[in-house]
Amino acid sequence: MEDHGLAVPDVYWWLLERAGEIEEAFQESPSPLCPCHNDLLNANFLLCDGRMMIVDYEYAGMGDVFFDLGNLSVNHEFDDATDQVLLELYFGEVAPARVARLKLMRLMSDFREAMWGVMQQVLSDLDFDYVDYANKHFARCRENAEDEQYQSWLRDAAREV
């Protein structure tokens, strides 16, 4: 990015360390890969004839279901109670390892979105404030990484789900 006149934000390096911690915790008890949308924003949900449809599969691929769940949760600003309902509806039960993985993937979703915003600053010709977009996601990501429960989420995420 520096080659294109854009410096990597300082918070990137701190968050990259958190990403490594999260990856390590998840590797203790890996989830099986499954089809994932990977971009569950409001704009990608359509209500048509009483049916909910998900569109825009540009980022879809095989991945960790908790990224999709975390992505959905953080993009729609779910609170803890709504996260519990999401896990109950998806899995049929709520378990500490699942809560932890959801919370940590909320963080990773914001990290990815922030870096997408950084990259768009040099790649996109659209009239959009990518700096503000990236900063919003960096700030929320950092806030979640500084949550007092972060270390317990890492411990719980390492358990079998």
pLDDT tens readout for residues 83-122: 999 999 999 999 999 999 999 999 999 999 999 999 999 9
Range 55-60 contact pairs with CB under 8 angstroms and sequence separation of 24 or more: 60/35, 60/36
Q: CATH no. for residue 150?
A: 3.90.1200.10
Total domains in the chain come to 1
Q: Residue 94 gets which letter from DSSP?
A: -
- 120/116 Cα distance (integer angstroms): 6
Domain hosting residue 30, numbered range: 2-157
Residue 53 has a CB neighbour count (10 Å cut-off) of 10
| Average pLDDT along the chain | 94
Q: Inform me whether the pLDDT recorded for 75 exceeds 80.
A: yes
pLDDT tens-digit map of 35-59: 999 999 889 999 999 999 999 999 9
Its pTM stands at 0.92
Q: Inform me whether the pLDDT recorded for 60 exceeds 90.
A: yes
